[in-house]
């Protein structure tokens, strides 16, 4: 990247720090006791006892001074607040959508969308449904089908757009089931469940063509639309000279609507959006919104939250920010690979995924290798990550997942390069001592979503 005539080699954080939040190092002995109290489930560890928290990138962003200023401008009027119109103008300018419903977070947008369009016996295709998306589709009585390309499931494949939808399988599904059973088609950008991998504009255009042919509405799950646009600019032929706002706009122009969790690329701690092209659909959704979230000009949020979101959507399309963001995640991935750690390649936009099956081959899936890495990483270095494998997806009637993964999600604008260096060092050291990692067994679990509250013992 060029700043004037000076060629920058290290991509620095494009901000300086105005407010600090201390983090606390614990001793090895303290962490041992904390793990036992939490019964080896990191969701049970208090945040105060975590040094570097990579549990999620959702709602964990640092807000800017302009966002904090926007918080003070928040208009708390019940109806027609200035804050709503500032958000409306920004989202309309960025996406072209005119029907804009605020919600308290992404899953509320999903629930309202699927309540409006879905019912028993219908099918919703997606590249990969995120877990709340799948749950909300199923809650409506419909069936959620994932149609991502095969490269997504190969951790070693360096396909530039591993989040792409398999368009042939989409067409085959529609021809087999009949278009009247498919109330909408979705694509998730970036593909969170598939490792934060991007979707190309070319792929989105092909999905649009199939949807047009069968007259099926096309919606985006657009939580990370800006990260996706940056990957398009970097990787898609002919895109390098286009601006991020142009690519973002073309992305949204291809869709009939979108759900967005603003806790990701909205750079806020709470908030969501539901967007429509069609006025009648928006009207139905608004009636549901009033019933369950709030009046259509605040949708379950305070006015100040709407203003912070409006400003977040200005800052997120800044190319210097995105260059730093994507680079810092790739940097962590590179350091881990240099240390021999098996990860999913290439790193996605918001997280690095460790391939725990290969990290500790001496631990069988029945003893949760991913959980062993998560516990080991906290014990060794006070870092909190999350297991995405047999703990999260296994149990009961579920099939064992394809891969045993550990996700290190990077909060936006929160950690510096030295924090990331520390994380990479810790992971590499843990890998060098991987023989000491122990498998776990579940001693207590709830009937659903067991990863949040299950209790474990070390084998």
Query: Which residues, 165 to 194, sit near ligand PLP by CB under 6 A?
Result: 188, 192
Q: Does 58 bind ligand PLP (CB under 6 A)?
A: yes
Choose, by CB under 6 A, the member of 74, 102, 106, 348 that binds ligand PLP: 106
Please confirm whether the linkage preceding 421 is cis (ω < 30° from 0). Answer: no
Q: Does 134 bind ligand PLP (CB under 6 A)?
A: no
Contact 104, 124 (CB under 8 A): no
Interacting span for ligand PLP (CB under 6 A) from 38-46, 157-165, 259-267, 395-403: 259-267
Choose, by CB under 6 A, the member of 132, 143, 269, 288 that binds ligand PLP: 132
- Residues β-bridged to residue 144: 124
The CB density around residue 262, as the number of other CB atoms within 10 Å, is 33
Considering the complex, state which of residue 310 and residue 427 has its C-beta at the smaller distance from ligand PLP: 310
Structure tokens at 273: 């959006």
Interacting span for ligand PLP (CB under 6 A) from 30-38, 105-113, 338-346, 362-370: 105-113
Query: Which residues, 216 to 235, sit near ligand PLP by CB under 6 A?
Result: 221, 223
Choose, by CB under 6 A, the member of 263, 304, 407, 419 that binds ligand PLP: 263
Interacting span for ligand PLP (CB under 6 A) from 17-25, 27-35, 125-133, 375-383: 125-133
Considering the complex, state which of residue 74 and residue 349 has its C-beta at the smaller distance from ligand PLP: 349
Cα(454)–Cα(456) distance, integer angstroms: 7
Q: H or E stretch including 458? A: strand 455-458
Q: Does 61 bind ligand PLP (CB under 6 A)?
A: no
Point out the residue whose Cβ comes nearest to ligand PLP. Answer: 106
Q: Does 102 bind ligand PLP (CB under 6 A)?
A: no
Give the three-state DSSP class for 335: helix
Query: Which residues, 431 to 450, sit near ligand PLP by CB under 6 A?
Result: none
Cα(300)–Cα(304) distance, integer angstroms: 12
Considering the complex, state which of residue 64 and residue 261 has its C-beta at the smaller distance from ligand PLP: 261
Structure tokens at 180: 């009247």
Contact 73, 83 (CB under 8 A): yes
What Cα–Cα distance (Å) separates residue 99 from each residue in 46, 83, 204, 296, 317?
Answer: 40, 16, 21, 11, 21
- Cα Rg of the chain (Å, integer): 22
Structure tokens at 221: 């799950």
The footprint of ligand PLP (CB under 6 A) covers 58, 105-107, 130, 132-133, 188, 192, 221, 223, 261, 263-264, 272
């Amino acid at each position: 990247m060029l700043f004037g005539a000076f060629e920058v080699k290290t991509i620095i954080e494009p901000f300086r720090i105005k407010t600090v939040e201390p983090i606390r190092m614990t001793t090895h002995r303290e962490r041992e006791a904390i793990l036992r109290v939490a019964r080896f489930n990191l969701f049970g560890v208090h945040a105060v006892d975590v040094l570097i928290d990579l549990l999620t990138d959702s709602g964990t962003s640092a807000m800017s001074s302009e966002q904090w200023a926007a918080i003070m401008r928040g208009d708390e009027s019940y109806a027609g607040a200035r804050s709503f119109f500032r958000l409306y103008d920004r989202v309309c300018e960025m996406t072209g959508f005119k029907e804009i419903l605020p919600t308290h977070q992404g899953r509320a947008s999903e629930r309202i969308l699927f309540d409006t369009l879905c019912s028993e016996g219908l099918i919703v295709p997606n590249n990969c449904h995120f877990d709340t998306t799948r749950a909300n589709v199923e809650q409506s009585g419909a069936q959620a089908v994932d149609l991502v390309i095969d490269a997504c499931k190969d951790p070693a494949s360096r396909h530039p757009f591993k989040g792409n939808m398999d368009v042939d399988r989409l067409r085959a599904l529609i021809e087999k089931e009949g278009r009247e059973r498919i109330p909408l088609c979705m694509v998730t950008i970036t593909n969170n469940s598939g490792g934060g991998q991007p979707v190309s504009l070319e792929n989105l255009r092909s999905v649009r063509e199939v949807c047009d042919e069968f007259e099926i509405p096309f919606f985006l799950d657009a939580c990370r639309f800006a990260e996706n646009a940056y990957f398009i600019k970097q990787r898609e032929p002919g895109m390098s000279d286009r601006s991020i706002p142009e690519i973002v706009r073309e992305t949204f122009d291809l869709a009939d609507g979108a759900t967005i969790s603003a806790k990701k690329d909205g750079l806020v701690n709470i908030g969501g959006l539901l967007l429509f092209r069609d006025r009648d659909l928006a009207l139905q959704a608004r009636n549901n919104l009033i019933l369950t979230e709030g009046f259509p000009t605040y949708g379950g949020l305070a006015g100040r939250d709407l203003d912070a979101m409006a400003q977040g959507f200005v800052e997120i399309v800044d190319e210097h920010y995105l260059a730093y963001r994507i680079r810092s995640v790739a940097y962590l991935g590179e350091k881990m690979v240099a240390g021999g750690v098996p990860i999913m390649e290439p790193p996605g936009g918001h997280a690095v995924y460790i391939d725990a099956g290969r990290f500790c081959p001496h631990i069988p899936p029945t003893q949760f290798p991913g959980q062993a890495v998560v516990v080991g990483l906290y014990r060794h270095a006070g870092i909190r990550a999350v297991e995405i494998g047999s703990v999260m997806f296994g149990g009961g009637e579920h099939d064992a997942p394809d891969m045993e993964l550990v996700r290190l999600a990077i909060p936006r604008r929160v950690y510096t390069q030295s924090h990331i260096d520390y994380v990479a060092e810790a992971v590499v050291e843990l890998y060098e001592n991987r023989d000491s990692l122990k498998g776990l067994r579940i001693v207590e679990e709830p009937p659903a979503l067991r990863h949040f509250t299950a209790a474990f013992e070390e084998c």
